[in-house]
Structure 1
Amino acid sequence: MELLWKSHMMKVIKLVYVLLLVTLMNSKVSESKKEKIISTSFEYNGINCRANSVSLKDFGGVGDGKTSNTKAFQSAISHLSKYDSEEGSQLYVPAGKWLTGSFSLISHFTLYLHKDAVLLASQDVKEWPVIKPLPSYGRGRDAAAGRYTSLIFGTNLTDVIVTGDNGTIDGQGSKWWQQFHQKKLKYTRPYLIELMFSDNIQISNLTLLNSPSWNIHPVYSSNIIIKGITIIAPIRSPNTDGINPDSCTNTKIEDCYIVSGDDCVAVKSGWDEYGIKFGWPTKQLVIRRLTCISPYSATIALGSEMSGGIQDVRAEDITAVHTESGIRIKTAVGRGGYVKDIYVKRMTMHTMKWAFWITGNYGSHADKNYDHNALPEIKNINYRDMVAEDVAMAANLEGISNDPFTQICISNVTISMAAKAKKQPWTCNDIEGITSGVTPKPCGLLPDQGTEKIKDCDFPSDYLPIDMLELKKCSYSI
């Protein structure tokens, strides 16, 4: 009897042990699944949420920083194109280093980068297709022939989002910069992100590094939000402009930090006779809470390619540090077009060469066929409520003979000059305007009107349509 009892107890103990082991294993599996869900859950604010989402890994993506993922991106986006409707689709890029050449987006689509995801631009020129020059430019900027397709590219699209949890896109541009300096480029360098002839665009919450040339270039597009972007390139890297809205309507640039070798924001609309013929202006542009470091260029530049026109630009709460100029308007005989209805307020500048710079003698023409009678119209330029310190020269305002730049208004601006500042803080030629409460005293062409008479360089009180767009909260688990 005792032996039977012992045998029975051993069976019970083994059964309990097996049950405990199974319970522990199931618990670990559940925890593992739970951890997996948590690690691949994400949310963001977007112009639209998507009904279908896949991971780059599902299409053979390898995030080792060495394997090319160009085909993986192309395959994933091709697969998702079947959801090219308002329900939309999304491609998730997980943590890793994803080497890739150029790839094109689709409509009703989101590209989302994990916080530890890095897109590395391929160094293999074969992974960069060549396309025609932009019609409003007539030629490539670096070379007369075509241009390399941007890393992330799209044309004739609707409802496109490129975003992430501050994921990174690294253009690995040093090779391109060397070829540019050595004049070895056959085609114009690629940009990091370019969307053409598109509507409803969002580019947000990303870090962009070392672009071969311009970083973000929406062109011939409308209804654009660019928000929460960090852009960094060496301060001597050539033409690494931050954000270049080009022949675009209804655009908002907010909460961006830019260190670059060229203009932090460059507003454009075509080059000489090509831009005049194309005739597509940039208008209704809002720039807010921008921080810029660019020792050899401008915080905000208007032009020099402005032949299609630039109108209704509103910039506020802008900070510039160790930057060549605060606001710069660049144009020339032959540009045609216009820059008008420009409003800037609450700008802070530290260690600048110029606070304000307007030049009608920029040069740099597309070719020798430009119209020498095509004179630009520059008028209604308004600057107010600004403070600058350690400035070499307050302003260099240079219009065009027989084509003066008019209605320049500067109000409530205090500029503290550097220890080795120019003896003459203001230089003015061929301009007309007024000032109020400006230190140091402006040039004679900008007479002080007194605080009671001046219109105070009015800043529009209405909102542009892009400000009325409310983003949706999107959340996913993959």
Structure 2
Amino acid sequence: MIRPMFGILVILAILSFPAIESRSHQNVVSSGIRFSALNCRKHSAILTDFGAVGDGKTSNTNAFKKAISKLSQMATDGGAQLVVPPGKWLTGSFNLTSHFTLFIQRGATILASQDESEWPVIAPLPSYGKGRDGTGTGRFNSLISGTNLTDVVITGNNGTINGQGQYWWDKFKKKQFKLTRPYLIELLFSKNIQISNITLIDSPSWNIHPVYCNNVIVKSVTVLAPVTVPNTDGINPDSCTNTLIEDCYIVSGDDCIAVKSGWDQYGIKFGMPTQQLSIRRLTCISPKSAGVALGSEMSGGIKDVRIEDVTLTNTESAIRIKTAAGRGAYVKDIFARRITMKTMKYVFWMSGNYNSHPDEGFDPKALPEVTNINYRDMTAENVTMSASLDGIHKDPFTGICISNVTIALADKAKKVQWNCTDVAGVTSRVTPEPCSLLPEKKAPAKNEDCAFPSDLIPIESVVLKKCSL
């Protein structure tokens, strides 16, 4: 009797949405839009089916919530997709559901509300202990969020999410917040996630933040933020396993990509690393920060990161390792190759004194391990300083390998090009000549290049399905 009754309930659930199916057929499927996704959906609805108004002034927070609540009932019957059509859709924070696609059409803009009452206040992340902005313990929920989800796709044909960040930036600069600013997209404790083919503009703070997630794809995303605004990081995988970031274009006032895993004693206790991360075909502009940063919050550990085919223009540094006494854990097994740079302050930058802490409860004896760092096949021009590499006293950064790197200096370059303390490693075919702590590698020619894995991490082998609206 259980199975027949379950079947009847499923049929009744489907029949309860005739308007959704009808509107979707008329206004979406006929458009012939094709896109790639982890999974296609059996059911579709348009945001306007739920009373939304795309005038850029009317709040649609309830419309988003109502739509996702209704569509969540179809999760076990092939899943559902919500289409955001052309228009300006003002909204506060809302949560996604499993087996769900949010599709933002070309000409559609999701506008983040500047009304703080439309942003719920939530607890800090357990691996951080405090709000990331360093003011109080709470934080505003992200614009688009979700927890304990499976099979979620946020995509479009270059639709836009606009964080309208000026309101938040002004208050932050004046130190008027006791809460951490919201991010645009944050998914927690979730798996099988895809974020692709959308443009993110003017986030209040970080743009994309998957945290405690497995199997994540961020693909063909454009992130645009003023280069003068701090903490507008592009993509921040945080305590995540098996993540692919590819074909993204980022302009930011902070790190284009920042790899993280928790902050001091809170991150050490939580103990969840970021591992199996592939970053490829990234284009980045960030005059005041890094193309890819590892840390500084890395107290759960960071390992097995592959970075390749990256173009950096007018960016402070290429790949920066940031840590400090009190962080603990490790940054190890890092591999980078084929990086092209133009107008850089630094090419190589490692900082062992990044002393920002959530509170005074950290253990200064919790020293991080930084080892097996491999950089190869890089060119740079108009560079101020080739390298600033500072490990930690009595805790040196070891196993550094740099090979086949040519750096052309700016007209007003630093007189000392390599500043190295508490580091150890080797180099091969690197100009200008590296510091004495990174001597020329004495080995046969075939062994001169630094390592780069020949295998793939699992997410790189995933083939997306061809879907349509």
CA distance in 2, matches of 1:183, 1:163: 35
CA distance in 2, matches of 1:296, 1:451: 38
Give the match for residue 449 of structure 1.
Answer: 441
Encode CA deviations 1:391-435: one digit per residue, 9 max, x unaligned.
Answer: 000000000010010000000000001111001100000001000
8 Å CA contact 2:129–2:137 kept in 1: the answer is no
Give the match for residue 308 of structure 1.
Answer: 300
Flag the 1:55–1:443 CA change in 2: closer, same or farther, 3 A. same
1:246 is aligned to 2:238? yes
8 Å CA contact 1:436–1:451 kept in 2: the answer is no
Secondary structure at the residue paired with 2:293? strand
8 Å CA contact 2:428–2:448 kept in 1: the answer is no
Give the match for residue 453 of structure 2.
Answer: 460
1:108 is aligned to 2:90? no
- State the shift of 1:86 in Å: 6.1
396, 418, 423: which one aligns with 1:426: 418
Give the match for residue 70 of structure 2.
Answer: 79
8 Å CA contact 1:85–1:107 kept in 2: the answer is no
CA distance in 2, matches of 1:34, 1:304: 49
- State the shift of 1:35 in Å: 9.4
8 Å CA contact 1:437–1:451 kept in 2: the answer is no
Give the match for residue 8 of structure 2.
Answer: none
Secondary structure at the residue paired with 1:83? coil
Secondary structure at the residue paired with 1:403? coil
Q: How does 1:113-132 map to 2 (within 5 A)?
A: 113-132=104-123
CA distance in 1, matches of 2:103, 2:463: 19
206, 218, 230: which one aligns with 1:214: 206
Which letter does structure 1 place at the counterpart of 2:345? Answer: K
Give the match for residue 248 of structure 2.
Answer: 256
CA distance in 2, matches of 1:78, 1:36: 21
CA distance in 2, matches of 1:73, 1:35: 21
Flag the 1:216–1:37 CA change in 2: closer, same or farther, 3 A. closer
Q: How does 1:75-224 map to 2 (within 5 A)?
A: 75-85=66-76, 87-142=78-133, 143-224=135-216
Give the match for residue 473 of structure 1.
Answer: 466
Give the match for residue 404 of structure 1.
Answer: 396
Give the match for residue 346 of structure 1.
Answer: 338
Encode CA deviations 1:317-362: one digit per residue, 9 max, x unaligned.
Answer: 0010000001100000000010000000000010000001001001
8 Å CA contact 1:256–1:289 kept in 2: the answer is yes
Give the match for residue 6 of structure 2.
Answer: none
- What residue ranges of structure 1 are gaps of 5+ in the alignment? 1-32
CA distance in 2, matches of 1:37, 1:47: 20
Paired residue total: 444
CA distance in 1, matches of 2:372, 2:28: 55
CA distance in 2, matches of 1:282, 1:255: 21
CA distance in 1, matches of 2:240, 2:28: 40
- State the shift of 1:85 in Å: 2.1
- State the shift of 1:468 in Å: 1.4
- State the shift of 1:456 in Å: 1.4
Compute the TM-score of the two structures, normalised by the length of structure 1.
0.91
C-alpha RMSD over aligned residues:
1.4
- State the shift of 1:93 in Å: 0.5
422, 429, 432: which one aligns with 1:440: 432
- State the shift of 1:474 in Å: 0.4
Compute the TM-score of the two structures, normalised by the length of structure 2.
0.93
8 Å CA contact 1:61–1:69 kept in 2: the answer is yes
Which letter does structure 2 place at the counterpart of 1:72? Answer: A
Secondary structure at the residue paired with 1:150? coil
- State the shift of 1:452 in Å: 2.0
CA distance in 2, matches of 1:39, 1:54: 13
- State the shift of 1:41 in Å: 3.3
8 Å CA contact 1:86–1:108 kept in 2: the answer is no
CA distance in 2, matches of 1:293, 1:451: 37
CA distance in 1, matches of 2:426, 2:442: 10
Which letter does structure 2 place at the counterpart of 1:374? Answer: A
Give the match for residue 61 of structure 1.
Answer: 52
8 Å CA contact 2:324–2:367 kept in 1: the answer is yes
Give the match for residue 51 of structure 1.
Answer: 42
After TM superposition, which residue ranges in structure 1, 4 or more long, deviate above 6 angstroms?
Answer: none
- State the shift of 1:451 in Å: 6.1
- State the shift of 1:37 in Å: 6.1
